[in-house]
Amino acid sequence: MVGYRFPETGADDVTIKILFCGICHSDLHCARNEWGVTNYPIVPGHEIVGTVTKVGNNVSKFKEGDKVGVGVLVASCQKCESCQQGLENYCPNMILTYNSIDRDGTKTYGGYSDLIVVDQHYVLRFPDNMPLDAGAPLLCAGITVYSPMKYYGMTEPGKHLGVAGLGGLGHVAVKIGKAFGLKVTVISTSPKKESEAISKLGADAFLVSSDPAKVKAAMGTMDYIIDTVSAVHSLAPLLGLLKVNGKLVTVGLPEKPLEVPIFALVGARRLVGGSNIGGMKETQEMLDFCAKHNIAADIELVRMDQINTAIERLAKSDVKYRFVIDVGNSKLQ
């Protein structure tokens, strides 16, 4: 299967041979049309890492052979207030890496494919010391948790961060939280994830959300929560874990709306916010930050012909902690 935006490399474009692509839960939501916006057929994949094979005449940022990444967006208007602030991720005309209509009227196809052609502005430099396969998930999972932590001021060393949902986004949030010097508690529905969360991922504590005694003891102890849960769930128990003035940022995108428990907000001046990936400049900053702190995802590498099994396991929260496809067959045969 070959997915590409333009058959030719345009003047501002970079053609990339894809080596690895992460499987994000958004790929699953979209493949199953859980958000009701899927325009079939689609080629998912927006955690793309590869090698530059060709550059257009105007391209100065990259050359053939460079290791690069592409995340969730491949174009934006460049004129609106958001674009001018480097917030291409909030441009009303942003074009997503897949399941979008491109400027030339064709559909965009994502990273479960051999190659992609992307405008240089939306291509990231992949740090030298970062593993190509385990680094790929940072292009969506990494920036999606890094950006709100920066924007909402959730980086003060010593403060207590709760991470709800220990999947692709959640496990990277644990690592980034530790790199910012936070105390990190995982809030999970899966007791079996506890020992590794602490021994391998570096979390300080693990709270099983179905354990009423432990949840009660943890009430009012957290300064911030990042909620990465992919399914409909109640916010009230999470808000109860926050201190007065605590902040909960939801990045998960369940298929139906969540209820906002007003009393839990009003009674303790708490805040609920949202956040969508990150802009290009901040995504590069996040990659460089992760390289500096030796942060990459914990992955299960799969071949292209194992995608369906991987997606089924992802639907059951059975992945440690991100599937990555070896698109270029460079590690798996």
Residues within the interface to Zn ion (CB under 5 A): 24, 26, 140
Stretch that binds ligand NAP, among 12-20, 117-125, 152-160, 251-259 (CB under 6 A): 251-259
Stretch that binds ligand NAP, among 93-101, 112-120, 163-171, 298-306 (CB under 6 A): 163-171
227 with 248: CB under 8 angstroms? yes
Q: Compare residues 24 and 290 and give the one whose CB is closer to Zn ion.
A: 24
297 with 274: CB under 8 angstroms? no
Q: What one-letter code names the amino acid at 160?
A: H
Q: Compare residues 181 and 273 and give the one whose CB is closer to ligand NAP.
A: 273
Smallest gap, in angstroms, from Cβ of residue 77 to ligand NAP?
19
For residue 107, the 8-state DSSP code is: B
* Spacing of C-alpha 195 from chain mean position: 24
Which of positions 252-271 make contact with ligand NAP (CB under 6 A)? 252-253
Of the candidates 213, 160, 163, which has an alpha carbon nearest to the alpha carbon of residue 188? 163
Of the candidates 98, 41, 43, 34, which has an alpha carbon nearest to the alpha carbon of residue 72? 98
Q: Is 57 left (phi over 0), alpha (psi -120 to 50) or beta?
A: alpha
Residue of 4, 20, 25, 100 that binds ligand NAP (CB under 6 A): 25
Question: Bridge partners of 208?
Answer: 188
Q: Compare residues 9 and 99 and give the one whose CB is closer to Zn ion.
A: 99
64-67 contacts at long range (C-beta below 8 A, 24 or more positions apart): 66/125, 66/126, 67/126, 67/128, 67/132
Q: Compare residues 253 and 265 and give the one whose CB is closer to ligand NAP.
A: 253
Stretch that binds ligand NAP, among 109-117, 149-157, 248-256, 289-297 (CB under 6 A): 248-256
Binding status of residue 117 toward ligand NAP by CB under 6 A: no
Binding status of residue 29 toward ligand NAP by CB under 6 A: yes
Query: By the criterion CB under 6 A, which residues form the site for ligand NAP?
Result: 24-26, 29, 140-141, 144, 165-170, 188-190, 193, 228-231, 233, 251-253, 275-277, 314, 317
